[in-house]
Amino acid sequence: MGEASLLVVGISHQRAAVGLRERVAIGKAALPESLLALQSDPHVQECVIVSTCNRTEVYAVVNGPAAGPGDDALVQFLARRAGMTSDELAPFLYRLSDVLVAQHLFRVASGLDSLVVGEVEILGQVKDALRAAEAAHTGGKWLYTLFRRALEAGKRARSETAISTGATSMSWAAVELARERVPNLPRAQVLVLGAGATAEGIARALAAHGVEGTMVANRTAERAERLAQLVGGVAVPFAQLLSFLAIADVVICSTDAPHPILSLDSVRSTLAARRGRRLYLIDVAVPRDVEPEVGLLPGVDLMDIDALAARASKGLRRREAEVAKVDQIILDEIDRFAAWQSSQRVTSTIASLQQRAEALRREELRRVSARLANVSPEAQQAIEAATRAIINKMLHHPITVLRETALQGTDARYVQALQELFDLGPGPDQEAISPGAAVAVGGAHRPDPAP
């Protein structure tokens, strides 16, 4: 087994509008198949996919250097999802390696890379992504450790700082947007389309704003009824969706459907029954639940997830002071991950060095075995012990130095030197992750803080 690299290739609200993000998005139902398809590529050893309304990211351990076939495999995977060529999609992607992957994922889990800064929902989504990879058996020790450290960073950010104080979720932001457009929201007829985690957050936020007439529609009637009971609302038949669309003042959509549920023609067919009453549609689903052309209909205001950006910027200004505190937590967690990463590189090199030395020892004893045929068993045992002792003493100092440098985060050049001098590869049960693009800060591999 050769050298491997830790990578993330992704697309998010930072670079791509919802129209492109929805083409790449992977729903829960398609996630297991997508993970297995990705890992079937010979260059991919481990993979985890994080796909939310704001991002689709592929985290992977790949064979070879960061800028190589493994990276190309991840880009091609996302390009196929989008129905584009790799060159067409590349301008909208970010591609990071090694410790910069850790920095990015820790920021994601902490809510710093979210459209609504400090949002609480993303932490559960990161946890769900890891669980999906575990269920599909596409993860491994590198990504499991990385994601566990990310979850710890996210928990610390929310418990040790005020980054999530106030309305810090996509669900809450959607309801706040509705309140801006409909000042008498508590007395309005609000229809929630969907019954998943985000829809539940929306329903809870509506209840917190005093909305009593919340209606819930979902393809699975039992889930709609359960959510409606949770917030004191009413479940309505999904088959009669257009009838309730005709009486609703606000519709907030958040399903996991792979295609739009409300088409231009279906919404247009309800306008006559509305008798000129304005319809506010807020679509926070990715892929979108409402065809974009619906927003062109007279008397209809359609806001998609990108419309939440303005509201999100207000929340960022209120919490700017907390961002620096979260960044420090992230750097602390990066140090811990880098130290673990160094220990794994060192362990791999030590195992390879010991394996090489033992193989040479056995080979030399085999070459002189005929001359030792008449030697007593006691003498043979003494020879075995002596040759082992020689190897152990010869390797003691370089192994000690490796372990010490691992604790300091300066092991990379020693590992590389030993691998080149002794022509070593990773040990039989180890895979070495290359140091990648890291910046040495205070004796550890730490990235520059994100702007």
383: phi > 0 → left, psi -120 to 50 → alpha, else beta; which? alpha
Which of 286, 239, 285, 232 is CA-nearest to residue 266?
239
Active site residues: 53
Q: How far is CA 309 from CA 13, 115, 174, 226, 313, in A?
A: 9, 6, 11, 31, 6
**Angle 320-367/309-318 helices, nearest 10 degrees?**
90
> In angstroms, rounded to a whole number, what is the distance separating the alpha carbons of residues 167 and 119?
8
Q: How far is CA 83 from CA 31, 76, 263, 285, 358, in A?
A: 18, 10, 22, 20, 52
